[in-house]
């Protein structure tokens, strides 16, 4: 059975890619014109898919070279350096010149076995022990200067994508200013910086911040008048007939997150295969099924939270109109409004609460699960949360 909705991966093929033509065009321009662009928005809105789609189009139409760096899973600046070298395409014509420049800058590039038989990638001759944070920063700057030198005069654009770029602040002290200085040292590379932690990005782009005045592209939810018919078309094309209102019900239950919408649409489709049709009740059953399948992971998350953070989640999950009002605080056993404010900030840092106002739980399935932790306001089911 072919399932038309894909979850848990960056989607950039045209059949799976839901519009975003304006955003794609803006990123393409940054790559093509070798500009600087900051793409930001909440997680799971589709930023990476937009940038991937733009990079694919520029690669296909203009033979662009795009080096993709995802900082989210990296732990040191040395990891970033290795990721840059691995991102250099094996078939790139000026690669030998780049190797020469890197060797001259003491980066110590080494050829390693690639994923394709007979091909080699670029590795790093420095050991983890030798590669201190300071040395890694020097070599990373030298690597981008070498790339910039190679890009000079190339007929096709060369660009660097740094996904979750704000994570560099966690990898090295002053990561933002360091990245800005690296970018300022290059004039022939395009730079696309994508990020989702808006509180940190706001600091980096505020007056006096390292990325103040950097052009920004805000990625929000896909418009319902685009998403709703697309969901119906995908279901219908794969043998499940949606009744009127199915797409709207998916968006109503899943909220603004593109990933949550796709996940719920996928489960609705799977349930509808048996009868060849899906209606609003199918969406509700799909939501409940997903909630049950995700519950064990949510339990682990819940256990790892401080009491104040749990109370804050309960306040948000129950849709309290005044989260820091005195009546709300009394019902949920919270002593001060500042405790809720601190809880929200901590939860935002963990990606559990939206980074935009008004605050809400980012994952609609987790939000529904949190509601099950409260019998009634002020009466948590979790005994530990009552202490």
Q: What is the mean pLDDT of each run of 10 residues along the chain (387 residues)?
A: 71 52 93 93 82 93 94 93 94 94 95 64 91 96 97 94 90 92 94 79 78 86 90 94 96 92 95 96 97 96 94 94 93 93 89 83 94 64 44
How buried is residue 375: exposed, middle or buried, by Cβ count under 10 Å (0-12/13-18/19+)? exposed
3-class state of residue 118 by DSSP: coil
Alpha helices in the chain, H assignment, sequence order: 21-32, 47-62, 77-87, 95-104, 133-151, 168-171, 175-184, 198-205, 224-237, 246-254, 258-272, 280-303, 307-317, 326-331, 337-349, 364-371
The whole-number pLDDT of residue 5 equals 87
Residue 360, both tokens: 């809400």
The whole-number pLDDT of residue 379 equals 52
**In the chain, what are the domains?**
21-218 (3.40.50.300), 224-300 (1.10.8), 304-386 (1.10.10)
- Residue 277 CA to residue 228 CA, distance in Å, equals 16
The whole-number pLDDT of residue 54 equals 93
Q: Which of 366, 258, 252, 375 is nearest to 309 (CA)?
A: 366
- Residue 293 CA to residue 210 CA, distance in Å, equals 43
The whole-number pLDDT of residue 80 equals 96
Q: Answer for the pair 35, 189: CB distance below 8 angstroms, yes or no.
A: no
């Amino acid at each position: 059975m072919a399932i038309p909705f894909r979850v848990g991966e960056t989607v950039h093929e045209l059949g799976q890619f839901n519009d975003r033509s304006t955003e794609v065009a803006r990123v393409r321009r940054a790559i093509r014109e070798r500009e600087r662009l900051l793409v930001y928005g909440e997680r799971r809105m589709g930023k990476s898919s937009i940038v991937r789609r733009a990079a694919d189009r520029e690669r296909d139409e203009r033979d662009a070279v795009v080096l993709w760096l995802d900082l989210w899973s990296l732990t040191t600046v040395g990891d970033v350096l290795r990721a840059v070298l691995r991102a250099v395409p094996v078939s790139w014509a000026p690669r030998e010149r780049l190797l020469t420049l890197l060797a001259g800058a003491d980066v110590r590039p080494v050829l390693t076995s690639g994923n394709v038989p007979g091909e080699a990638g670029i590795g790093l001759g420095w050991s983890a022990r030798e590669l201190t944070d300071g040395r890694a920063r020097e070599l990373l700057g030298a690597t981008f200067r070498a790339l910039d030198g190679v890009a000079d005069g190339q007929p096709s654009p060369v660009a660097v994508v740094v996904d979750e770029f704000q994570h560099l602040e966690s990898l090295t002290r002053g990561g933002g200013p360091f990245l800005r200085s690296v970018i300022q040292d290059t004039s022939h590379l395009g730079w696309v910086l994508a990020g989702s932690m808006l509180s940190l990005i706001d600091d980096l782009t505020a007056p006096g911040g390292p990325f103040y005045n950097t052009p920004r592209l805000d990625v929000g939810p896909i418009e319902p008048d685009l998403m709703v018919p697309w969901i119906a078309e995908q279901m219908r094309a794969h043998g499940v007939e949606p009744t009127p209102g199915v797409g709207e019900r998916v968006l109503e239950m899943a909220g603004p997150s593109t990933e949550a919408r796709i996940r719920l649409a996928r489960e609705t489709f799977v349930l509808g295969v048996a009868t060849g049709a899906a209606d609003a009740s199918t969406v509700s059953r799909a939501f409940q099924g997903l909630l049950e399948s995700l519950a064990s992971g949510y339990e682990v998350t819940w256990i790892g939270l401080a009491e104040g953070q749990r109370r804050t989640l309960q306040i948000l999950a129950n849709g309290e109109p005044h989260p820091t009002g005195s009546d709300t605080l009394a019902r949920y056993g919270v002593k001060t409004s500042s405790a809720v404010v601190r809880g929200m900030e901590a939860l935002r840092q963990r990606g559990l609460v939206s980074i935009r106002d008004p605050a809400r739980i980012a994952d609609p399935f987790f939000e529904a699960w949190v509601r099950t932790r409260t019998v009634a306001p002020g009466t948590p089911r979790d005994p530990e949360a009552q202490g």
